[in-house]
């Protein structure tokens, strides 16, 4: 029997997007400016196509202009970089998002580093990563920012809590740990080489699983009353969507838990809209 309260990502995302829509309408009325997001997709990866379509819908919902640049899978590196240079120089484009993964022949790093830091709405540029490190940031990576927004939405304080993050990726794990640290959490980062993972997890008041292993976190790894945030998006043995957390067993121990789907996912997209609005304000 489940005891944990669910943190509803869809409801939280709807609240965030409603606020952004109001702020964007106010900006348009006062200055005539409408936030603009350019999304670049190379090739026809089905998952990438779904993400890009969702982002376009989000932009429509909050009143942004969304422009898509769909390039062939065999696009050359120099042509992609030339497009980014053009978008960097375009006053109507506030945010530039290059949908990952890129085809193998393209150098992802040099593409991401070419995006102007003040248009880098994914917050992957080293300048923005450095700013997150010192706590003087304009943009936050969308998934960790979404997690922090969900904690705020559920009125869960981070200050003084033992926080454990499983995963050390540049996109989620590392920035997630920095954001928890900025809120005065005591942070442990675990990963594939961590010994006694369960022991670390059992100490956590707030446990964030972001490692991409289906149902890795079981109920016996979770402290009674912990807050459990599941960033994972996997398929189980039956092909059903699931997270990094074994929901059934963990929900009986946790005080709060996020579902998959309908948890962190919608928040990631909402925070992209927030970053685009922030970028538009910078350029105003």
User: Residue 3: what pLDDT?
Assistant: 86
Judged against a pLDDT cut of 80, whether residue 191 lies above it is answered with yes
Judged against a pLDDT cut of 80, whether residue 195 lies above it is answered with yes
Assign domain 140-265 one CATH number from 3.40.50.720, 1.20.120.1200, 3.40.50.10860, 3.90.180.10: 3.40.50.720
Which sign, positive or negative, has the C-alpha torsion 216, 198, 185, 117? negative
- CB neighbour burial string for 23-35, b if at least 16 within 10 angstroms, e if fewer: bbeebeeeeebeb
pTM equals 0.95
- Domains 32-116 and 140-265 equal at CATH topology level: yes
When pLDDT is cut at 50, 70 and 90, the band that residue 189 belongs to is very high
**What is the rounded CA–CA span in Å between residue 92 and residue 69?**
15
Fold adopted by 32-116:
Rossmann fold (3.40.50)
Query: By C-alpha distance, which of 168, 169, 181, 186 is closest to 132?
Result: 181
For the purposes of burial, counting CB atoms within 10 Å of the CB of 72, is it exposed (0-12), middle (13-18) or buried (19 or more)?
A: exposed
User: Residue 2: what pLDDT?
Assistant: 57
User: What are the residue numbers of the active site?
Assistant: 55, 99, 122
Judged against a pLDDT cut of 80, whether residue 173 lies above it is answered with yes
What contacts 50, CB < 8 A, 6 or more positions away? none
Note the pLDDT tens digit of each residue in 98-147: 999 999 999 999 999 999 999 999 999 999 999 999 999 999 999 999 99
- Could you tell me if 241 and 235 are in contact, meaning their C-beta atoms sit under 8 angstroms apart? yes
Q: SS in 3 state form for 152-197?
A: HHCCCCCCCCEEEEECCCCCCHHHHHHHHHHCCCEEEEECCCCCCH
Judged against a pLDDT cut of 80, whether residue 230 lies above it is answered with yes
Average pLDDT score, the chain: 97
User: Residue 62: what pLDDT?
Assistant: 98
Element (H, E) at 97: strand 95-98
Neighbours of 47 (CB within 10 A): 10
What contacts 20, CB < 8 A, 6 or more positions away? 62, 270, 273, 274, 277
Residue 74 is classified by DSSP as: T
Note the pLDDT tens digit of each residue in 60-85: 999 999 999 999 999 999 999 999 99
**What is the rounded CA–CA span in Å between residue 108 and residue 197?**
32
User: Residue 6: what pLDDT?
Assistant: 97
Q: What does the pLDDT average to over 249-266?
A: 97
Query: By C-alpha distance, which of 228, 229, 232, 269 is closest to 14?
Result: 269
Question: Interhelix angle for 9-31 vs 46-62, to 10°?
Answer: 50
* Ranges of each domain in the chain: 32-116, 140-265
């Amino acid at each position: 029997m489940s005891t944990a309260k669910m943190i509803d990502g869809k409801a939280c995302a709807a609240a965030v997007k409603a606020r952004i829509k109001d702020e964007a309408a106010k900006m348009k009325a006062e200055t005539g400016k409408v936030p603009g997001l350019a999304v670049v997709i190379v090739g026809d990866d089905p998952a990438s196509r779904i993400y890009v379509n969702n982002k376009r819908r989000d932009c429509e919902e909050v009143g942004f202009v969304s422009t898509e640049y769909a390039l062939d899978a065999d696009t050359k590196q120099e042509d992609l970089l030339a497009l980014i240079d053009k978008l960097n120089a375009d006053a109507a484009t506030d945010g530039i998002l290059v949908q990952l993964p890129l085809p193998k022949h393209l150098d992802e790093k040099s593409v991401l580093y070419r995006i102007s830091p003040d248009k880098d709405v994914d917050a992957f540029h080293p300048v923005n990563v450095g700013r997150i490190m010192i706590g003087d940031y304009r943009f936050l990576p969308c998934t960790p920012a979404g997690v922090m927004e969900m904690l705020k939405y559920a009125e869960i304080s981070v200050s003084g809590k033992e926080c454990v993050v499983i995963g050390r990726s540049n996109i989620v794990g590392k920035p997630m740990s920095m954001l928890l640290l900025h809120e005065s959490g005591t942070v442990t980062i675990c990963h594939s080489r961590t010994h006694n993972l369960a022991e670390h997890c059992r100490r956590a008041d707030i446990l964030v699983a972001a490692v991409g292993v289906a149902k890795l976190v079981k109920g016996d790894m979770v402290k009674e009353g912990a807050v459990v945030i599941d960033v994972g998006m996997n398929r189980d043995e039956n092909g059903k969507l699931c997270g990094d957390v074994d929901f059934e067993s963990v929900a009986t121990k946790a005080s709060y838990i996020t579902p998959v789907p309908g948890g962190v996912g919608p928040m990631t997209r909402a925070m992209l809209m927030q970053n685009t609005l922030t970028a538009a304000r910078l350029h105003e």
